[in-house]
Amino acid sequence: MASFEESLTKLEEIVASLERGDLSLEDSVKLFEEGTRLSAECRKQLEEAEGKVEMLVKQRDGSMKREPFGS
């Protein structure tokens, strides 16, 4: 599996190619399908990373407690 950065860069290239509008319909559909796959891959990687991120929350007694990010 490609890194998040590699997938995102490729997705940006696909979007730019599709926006130019100089591709055949067949090529456009192929790129669209690849872009959809890359988008889902990036989303999955972001969700996995979010699940690993923790934040420190200051408790009333002044101590710090780890909690999952987004809770």
Per-residue pLDDT band at 48 (split at 50, 70, 90)? confident
Confidence (pLDDT) at 70? 65
Is the pLDDT at 45 greater than 80? The verdict is: yes
Residue 23 CA: distances (Å) to CA of 8, 34, 35: 21, 15, 15
Residues 18/35, Cβ–Cβ less than 8 Å: yes
- Provide the residue ranges of all domains of the chain, joining segments of one domain with +: 4-68
Confidence (pLDDT) at 47? 87
